[in-house]
Amino acid sequence: MTETTPAAPPPLRQRPAEDFATPTPRNGGAWSGLRPLLLRLHFYAGVLIGPFLLVAAVTGLLYTATPQIESVVYRHELKVTPHGEPEPLSAQVDSAREAIPGGRLVSVTKGAGDSDTTRVTFDVRGLPEGYTQTAFVDPYDAEVRGTLCTSGEWLPVRAWFDSLHRTLHLGEFGRNYSEIAASWLWVEVLGGLALWLGAPRGRERLRGLFVPRRGPKGRGRTLSWHGAAGLWVSAGFLALSATGLTWSAQAGVNIGKIQDALGGATPSVSSALGHGARGSGSAGADAGESSAATSAPRIDLDGAVRIARSEGLRGKLVITPPADARSAYVVHENTRHWPEQQDSVAIDPATGKVTDKLAFDDFPVLAKLTRWGIDAHMGLLFGPANQIALAVIALALIGMLFWGYRMWWLRRPTRAGGTRFGRPPVRGAWRRVPGRVMAPLAVVTALLAYYLPLFGLPLACFLLGDLTVAQVRRRRRRRTRAEARAETPKEMAR
């Protein structure tokens, strides 16, 4: 009798530890219940909000290069070769008026350097809302080197890319796209960080948190790049989301109200005559002194600049002329790189007294953070280094979206007749979350949905869509079972 060796049992298939899409057990505590819910939300937001994030990343990447483009395209308007002594600002404004007849003078911007032109900005009828006409004047001979349609301080190239990034050139309706992207970017980042950091891994695999895995191509390798790169750039993503929300249409208003309630509103000097000075004791004039000195010579633009310089203002200065006989000159610094120079003064045009003064150092902390955040978002705070950082973050976001969609594609069924796209995580994840976690989570989500409407509305659509698909599939399964039960007696009878 020949002795035979029993065949070895087939090896058990092990689930990859790095795959955070793997369902977790029910008895693993609060995290084991919360994790599938985060995964479900991360999946829906990634698939459906991803296109909005991709457009924001691509347009933002293009925007980062606009300062260099402007310096080349508009060099003739922006720069001159110093020659002789500068003409008075009043003469430069007169030349600008001839180039832009019929406009209402809005402001005069004196450049920080000797080779900068003077910008004279007018409000002209017929221009789109938020746009003005600016003449660029050679300060040494008062020659107008060109006129451009500007949006605030942005020249046409940057204004075009700025509108593309914010609204896709669709007006107020287009602002919804960028607000959806900003409202969901932080959700995707925090959810992804929780899933990546909470994925089971041994001590020897801690290195995989920060370094993408090498090896054969596949979903595990793609996930490694998605998670590790996201961890490195997460702070930049969160900063862009927060600063983008501050000037969004719906959420921005609510954030502004909260900031005001916390005493963090951005202050400004008062141009109305008769207000006491906020600054030094030498700055101040009451209404009686102003009216008594009406016979004194009026202070011209150059005089306003000299007084502002004596008060410590430096760099690029923007002078807003008095709106009427009861208003003052307002001169403010406009240096938006680090360190910020945003001091401003109000000057009585009859007496030359400083009626109000505001230093950037006196801004509330929230106002300073808002200013720094917005300037960093636009690549202004740290110059070219800021632009490079924004470009890297934009490229990283594009890469994250590519890896995310690739993982979805790799999860697709490969059998004939299967659906073409990748499978989503299992449904019913919310039922696994313990009540002690679900209750505060629901309250926080409701508050966020109230203050961030374009977070709340898509979230409601996700939930309704998920419930609808679940109901359809449940009915389909019931119908299939009923048909199978009806066929069984017939088969037995045969």
How does DSSP assign 200-254, residue by residue? ---GGGGGGGTSPPPSSSSHHHHHHHHHHHHHHHHHHHHHHHHHHHHTSSHHHHH
Q: What is the per-residue pLDDT across 189-215, written as a single tens digit (0 to 9) for each?
A: 999 999 999 887 665 567 778 888 877
Lowest-confidence region among 15-19, 361-365, 396-400: 15-19
Considering the domain architecture, whether residues 56 and 122 belong to the same structural domain is answered as no
Is residue 281 assigned to a domain? no
Q: What is the pLDDT at residue 493?
A: 62
Is residue 13 assigned to a domain? no
Label each residue of 298-312 as H, E or C.
CCCHHHHHHHHHHCC
Considering the domain architecture, whether residues 172 and 70 belong to the same structural domain is answered as yes
Considering the domain architecture, whether residues 117 and 221 belong to the same structural domain is answered as no
Question: Looking at the predicted structure, is the pLDDT value of residue 278 above 90?
Answer: no
Considering the domain architecture, whether residues 106 and 226 belong to the same structural domain is answered as no
Is residue 242 assigned to a domain? yes
> Cα(105)–Cα(94) distance, rounded to whole angstroms?
11
Considering the domain architecture, whether residues 213 and 349 belong to the same structural domain is answered as no
Considering the domain architecture, whether residues 141 and 175 belong to the same structural domain is answered as no
Domain that holds residue 358: 287-362
The strands making up 344-347's β-sheet, listed across from edge to edge, are 144-151, 131-137, 118-123, 104-110, 317-320, 329-333, 344-347, 354-358
Considering the domain architecture, whether residues 184 and 69 belong to the same structural domain is answered as yes
Higher-pLDDT residue of 413, 476: 476
Is residue 184 assigned to a domain? yes
Considering the domain architecture, whether residues 250 and 127 belong to the same structural domain is answered as no
Number of domains comprising the chain? 3
Is residue 198 assigned to a domain? yes
Q: What is the pLDDT at residue 267?
A: 95
Is residue 177 assigned to a domain? yes
Q: What is the pLDDT at residue 30?
A: 75
Measured between its terminal Cα atoms, the distance across the chain in Å is 47
Q: What is the mean pLDDT of residues 100-129?
A: 96
Q: What is the per-residue pLDDT across 159-168, written as a single tens digit (0 to 9) for each?
A: 999 999 999 9
CATH of the domain at 313: 3.10.450
Instruction: Give the residue from 154, 171, 205 where a domain finishes.
Output: 154
Task: List, in sequence order, every beta strand (DSSP E) within 362-494.
Answer: none
- Report the percentage of the chain scoring pLDDT > 90: 65
Q: What is the pLDDT at residue 419?
A: 54
Residue 233: partners with Cβ closer than 8 Å, 6 or more residues away = 392, 393, 396, 397, 400
Considering the domain architecture, whether residues 68 and 167 belong to the same structural domain is answered as yes
Considering the domain architecture, whether residues 56 and 172 belong to the same structural domain is answered as yes
Q: What is the mean pLDDT of residues 88-93?
A: 97
pTM to 2 decimal places: 0.84
Considering the domain architecture, whether residues 358 and 379 belong to the same structural domain is answered as no
Question: Looking at the predicted structure, is the pLDDT value of residue 289 above 80?
Answer: no
Considering the domain architecture, whether residues 314 and 421 belong to the same structural domain is answered as no
